[in-house]
């Protein structure tokens, strides 16, 4: 007896299996996941594979790559190990990217949810506030905040999150405006569910897919903005970040370009991985949008 004879449909695979099947159809997204995994491994193994302190002298200044195997990627103008800086820089860059993204998403979700759910004067006030932020270029506002709060890595991370919340807010607002009139929301209201419960328990879970996809964009932009600050000597000098390495390497760009090129390549590959990850997440979470 065959399965067709019994008229019993095969069980559907779990959601995570369906998600992975849709995700891996995009080869570029798989490449992005592979690059992202490399960055994660670098961040986790910093201090294990290369136990040297990235801020201490490890050899003669400006030793080229592949000359001394104690410092395989060479040393900078202060004799610090470039390989150690790249590994520790992965950790700092990821921490900044994740923390700044959480700050931006948290602010954006709260403002966008309130604006989209209540509408009316609440929507007008919050959207005018959002537009006021958008009138100032993000990097100019970031420079202002860093000048006010200081160049510690904690304040830099918060400042990046503050200048990055407007796009998520508008995205969440649009999702809430399209979902607030659905039947499941009306049913929750009729049952006496509070507005806060409807917002965070009923509507927000259904509005999460585009937010998750856009989070990868914010992470990439956060790393780029921190690198730009460090290039302008506004980064935290107490931490080895890729941006700090590029900023310090520009002084010897002609004589020892590897000091800036190697961390620059690390930034490019990391940002590329986030871009490809976002594309794959969009295909996996929104399969109907894919042509």
Model confidence pLDDT, tens digit, residues 128-164: 999 988 888 889 999 999 989 888 999 999 999 999 9
Residue 182: its pLDDT value, please? 86
pLDDT attached to residue 291: 47
Choose the CATH number for 40-52+73-289 among 1.10.3720.10, 3.40.50.300, 2.60.40.1930, 3.30.70.520.
Answer: 1.10.3720.10
Percent of the chain with pLDDT over 90: 37
Predicted pLDDT at 47: 77
pTM for this structure? 0.86
CA angle 24, 28, 29 (to 5 degrees): 50
**Residue ranges per domain, the chain?**
40-52+73-289
**Average of per-residue pLDDT across 272-281:** 88
User: Which of 14-18, 33-37, 203-207, 281-285 is least confident?
Assistant: 14-18
Residue 188: predicted pLDDT: 86
Quick check: 247 pLDDT over 50?
A: yes
């Amino acid at each position: 007896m065959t399965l067709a004879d019994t008229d019993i449909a095969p069980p559907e695979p779990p959601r995570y299996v369906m998600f992975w099947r849709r995700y891996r159809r995009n080869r570029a997204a798989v490449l992005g996941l592979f690059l992202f995994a490399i960055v994660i491994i670098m961040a986790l193994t910093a201090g294990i594979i290369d136990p040297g302190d990235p801020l201490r002298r490890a050899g003669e200044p400006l030793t080229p790559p592949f000359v001394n195997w104690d410092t395989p990627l060479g040393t900078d103008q202060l004799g610090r190990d470039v390989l150690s800086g790249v590994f520790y820089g992965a950790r700092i860059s990821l921490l900044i990217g994740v923390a700044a993204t959480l700050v931006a998403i948290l602010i954006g979700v709260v403002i966008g949810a309130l604006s989209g759910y209540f509408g009316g004067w609440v929507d007008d006030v919050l959207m005018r506030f959002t537009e006021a932020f958008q009138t100032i270029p993000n990097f100019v506002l970031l420079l202002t905040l860093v000048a006010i709060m200081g160049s510690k890595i904690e304040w830099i991370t918060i400042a990046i999150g503050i200048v990055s919340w407007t796009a998520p807010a508008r995205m969440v607002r649009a999702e809430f405006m399209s979902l607030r009139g659905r039947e499941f929301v009306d049913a929750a209201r009729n049952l006496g569910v509070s507005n806060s419960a409807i917002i965070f328990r009923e509507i927000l879970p259904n509005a999460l897919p585009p937010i998750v996809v856009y989070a990868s964009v914010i992470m990439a932009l956060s790393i780029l903005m921190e690198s730009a600050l460090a290039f302008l000597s506004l980064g935290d000098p107490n931490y080895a970040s890729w941006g700090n390495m590029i900023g310090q390497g520009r002084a010897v760009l002609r004589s020892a370009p590897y000091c800036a090129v190697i961390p620059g390549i690390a930034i490019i590959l990391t940002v590329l991985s986030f871009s490809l990850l976002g594309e794959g997440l969009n295909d996996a979470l929104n399969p109907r949008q894919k042509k």
